[in-house]
Amino acid sequence: MCGERLEHAVGEARSPSYGKRPSAATKIRGGFWEKGVTYMEPEDGRAKESDGPLTGLLIADFSRILAGPYATMLLGDLGATVIKVEGPSGDDTRTWKPPVRGDVATYYLGINRNKRSIVLNLADADDKRLALRLAQRADVMIENFKPGQISRFGLGYETLCEENPGLVYASISGFGTKPPGSGMMGYDLMIQAMSGLMSLTGEPEGPAYRAGISVIDIISGLHLAMGILAALYERATSGLGQHVEVSLLTSALSGLVNHTAAVTMGGVVPFRMGNAHPSLYPYDPFATQDGELIVIAANDGQFRSLTMAIGAPELADDPRFSRNELRTANRDILGPLLQERLRTKTSDEWFALLTAAGVPCAPIATVDRGIAFAKEVGLEPTVLLGEGGDRLEMIRNPITFSATPPSYRLRPPALGADGDAIRAWLLDESELD
């Protein structure tokens, strides 16, 4: 047990150690913190000129691949200082090529901005001491080692919480920390298979398919970031950190939402239906003159609007199709009737007509077209980071804030790019508590 939590009600005085932002002098004197940030205490209590809502937090990121680095990038966008700790060979995704920008894997670039990199060989005694010192100073530590492995280096939660009681220690595993799951490695494709997700993906009579992205890693990273933020909020009251754990498998089962609910509460085992939805119709792609268009009628009003837009208003009053459950049960009859009409125009023509009629629909776009469309509707999905020929166009943090927006301060670092500055800061005895 790493200390007792203070019994503060919400609104009462909080721990002086963790309830305040650090001073500008404390922030800058380490030599590698982002400079030019001044903390002031305006009447509304909000620090001015900060990089974001998490400015002043230090995150020691011992994770690699996708789930952890994605979470820490999002937190870094919100102002946290993220130190990416890599082994001598670097994060695996540095070698996941193609595609590349120059000679750098775009996979790595896409999830590692707003971080500083140091190489630490945890098998080396001196580097292990630096890693421990970093963990002692951090607000948050994230790791995705095989369960129990990082404890061999003196960096397990039970050790660090004694050294740094305010530390929020976040772990990602494939199958949890208890045997037998703790002995298994966890990769996204494994979890897609073992969670049941692949059994839902593909045509009914065809093979199971993986999703087109590492969706379980992304969901797990989001769950981890949410857990970290909740633990930090609780720390502001208790003064103590805690251990936050996320497993890829439980994240997957949570992300399967209606399908896992069908099993646990409905006694139904879902199955592959291609692009069809088990509980809604239409909710499918339909062939047009020149391609395919997703058409959705999620309620009776939308279905009536659809039938009017395609020139078949009688379908909305047909007793076989008047309610969603009837349309779903009679999809084999309704589908050809809709398809007959939708073949008469191009996807773009139907997109304009149906959108104007209030019917959800979408052409099936390539990724580049998806980015372009986001720009067309005013979402500003990308941000330019860097200067001149080294400038990167990256996808923005998807969260907007009215007062403390995300910031894009640092390009994804080269391996060990900030090692000298970080080592000097860690070795500075004046920085020790």
CATH number at residue 350: 3.30.1540.10
**∠ CA(74), CA(405), CA(214), 5° rounding?**
25
Q: Are both 159 and 32 inside the same structural domain?
A: yes
Give SS3 for 413: coil
Integer-rounded Cα radius of gyration of the chain: 26
Query: Which segment of 50-59, 227-236, 349-358 scores lowest on mean pLDDT?
Result: 50-59
Has this prediction a pTM greater than 0.85? yes
Q: Give CA 351 to chain center in angstroms.
A: 30
Q: Phi, psi at residue 6, to the nearest 5°?
A: -75, 140
What is the full DSSP assignment across 271-301? ---TT--SS-SSEEEEE-SSSEEEEE--SHH
Q: Give CA 49 to chain center in angstroms.
A: 26
Residue in 255, 243, 180, 179 with CA at minimum distance from that of residue 217: 255
What does the alpha-carbon distance between residue 221 and residue 244 come to, in Å, rounded to a whole number?
12
Query: Residue 430: is its pLDDT beyond 70?
Result: no
Query: Residue 303: is its pLDDT beyond 60?
Result: yes
pLDDT range class, residue 70, cuts 50, 70, 90: very high
In this structure, which amino acid lies at residue 391? R
Q: Are both 115 and 230 inside the same structural domain?
A: yes
Domain assignment of residue 250, yes or no: yes
pLDDT range class, residue 57, cuts 50, 70, 90: very high
The pair of structure tokens assigned to 270 is: 């879902």
Give the helix/strand (H/E) hosting 158: helix 157-163
Give the count of domains, the chain: 2
Mean pLDDT for the stretch of residues 371-388:
95
Query: Residue 432: is its pLDDT beyond 60?
Result: no
CB–CB of 320/333 below 8 Å? yes
Domain CATH for 106 = 3.40.50.10540
Domain assignment of residue 389, yes or no: no
What does the alpha-carbon distance between residue 313 and residue 310 come to, in Å, rounded to a whole number?
8
Q: Are both 35 and 180 inside the same structural domain?
A: yes
What does the alpha-carbon distance between residue 19 and residue 258 come to, in Å, rounded to a whole number?
39
Domain assignment of residue 316, yes or no: yes
Domain assignment of residue 338, yes or no: yes
Name the percent of the chain lying above pLDDT 70. 87
User: For residue 5, what pLDDT is reported?
Assistant: 62
Query: Which segment of 32-36, 57-61, 216-220 scores lowest on mean pLDDT?
Result: 32-36
Greater model confidence, 13 or 323: 323
Query: Which segment of 43-52, 111-120, 184-193, 201-210 scores lowest on mean pLDDT?
Result: 43-52
Query: Which segment of 17-31, 135-149, 263-277 scores lowest on mean pLDDT?
Result: 17-31
For 73, 195, 248, 252, 320, the CA distances from 255, given in Å and listed in that order, are 21, 10, 10, 5, 33
Mean pLDDT for the stretch of residues 326-337:
98
Name the percent of the chain lying above pLDDT 90. 86
Query: Residue 389: is its pLDDT beyond 90?
Result: no
Query: Residue 31: is its pLDDT beyond 70?
Result: no
Query: Residue 372: is its pLDDT beyond 50?
Result: yes
User: For residue 431, what pLDDT is reported?
Assistant: 57
Summary count for the chain: helices (H), strands (E): 16, 13
Q: Phi, psi at residue 341, to the nearest 5°?
A: -75, -40
Mean pLDDT for the stretch of residues 103-114:
98
Q: Are both 354 and 230 inside the same structural domain?
A: no
pLDDT range class, residue 390, cuts 50, 70, 90: confident
Q: Are both 355 and 420 inside the same structural domain?
A: no
pLDDT range class, residue 39, cuts 50, 70, 90: very low
Q: Are both 39 and 81 inside the same structural domain?
A: yes
What does the alpha-carbon distance between residue 142 and residue 171 come to, in Å, rounded to a whole number?
6
What does the alpha-carbon distance between residue 142 and residue 224 come to, in Å, rounded to a whole number?
9
What does the alpha-carbon distance between residue 349 and residue 369 come to, in Å, rounded to a whole number?
17
Averaged confidence pLDDT in the chain: 90
Query: Which segment of 18-22, 70-74, 393-397 scores lowest on mean pLDDT?
Result: 18-22
Q: Which domain holds residue 88?
A: 24-255+397-431
What does the alpha-carbon distance between residue 178 and residue 173 come to, in Å, rounded to a whole number?
10
User: For residue 230, what pLDDT is reported?
Assistant: 98
Q: Are both 87 and 226 inside the same structural domain?
A: yes
User: For residue 43, what pLDDT is reported?
Assistant: 41
Domain assignment of residue 263, yes or no: no
What is the distance in angstroms between the CA of the first residue and the CA of the last residue of the chain?
Answer: 22
Query: Residue 274: is its pLDDT beyond 90?
Result: yes
What does the alpha-carbon distance between residue 114 and residue 240 come to, in Å, rounded to a whole number?
26
Q: Are both 157 and 79 inside the same structural domain?
A: yes
CB–CB of 358/302 below 8 Å? yes
User: For residue 1, what pLDDT is reported?
Assistant: 63
Instruction: Write out pLDDT tens, residues 141-181.
Output: 999 999 999 999 999 999 999 999 999 999 999 999 999 99
Active-site pick, 8, 243, 259, 277: 277
Query: Residue 34: is its pLDDT beyond 80?
Result: no
User: For residue 12, what pLDDT is reported?
Assistant: 44
What does the alpha-carbon distance between residue 80 and residue 60 come to, in Å, rounded to a whole number?
10
Question: Does the active-site annotation cover 223?
Answer: no
Instruction: Write out pLDDT tens, residues 398-423.
Output: 999 999 999 999 999 999 999 999 99
Q: Are both 90 and 185 inside the same structural domain?
A: yes
Domain assignment of residue 423, yes or no: yes
The residue with tokens 């980071």 is 385
Residue 31, burial from CB neighbour count under 10 angstroms (0-12, 13-18, 19+) = middle
Mean pLDDT for the stretch of residues 172-196:
96
Q: Are both 42 and 159 inside the same structural domain?
A: yes
Residue 425, burial from CB neighbour count under 10 angstroms (0-12, 13-18, 19+) = buried
What percent of the residues of the chain are helix, what percent strand, and what percent coil, each to the nearest 5? 40, 15, 50
Instruction: Write out pLDDT tens, residues 130-142.
Output: 999 999 999 999 9
Domain assignment of residue 273, yes or no: no
The pair of structure tokens assigned to 183 is: 């002995």
Mean pLDDT for the stretch of residues 258-271:
97
Give SS3 for 233: helix
Domain assignment of residue 267, yes or no: no
Most confidently modeled range among 48-52, 302-306, 384-388: 302-306
Residue in 159, 156, 132 with CA at minimum distance from that of residue 426: 132
Q: Are both 250 and 288 inside the same structural domain?
A: no
User: For residue 241, what pLDDT is reported?
Assistant: 98
Greater model confidence, 39 or 73: 73
Q: Are both 248 and 303 inside the same structural domain?
A: no
What does the alpha-carbon distance between residue 381 and residue 401 come to, in Å, rounded to a whole number?
15
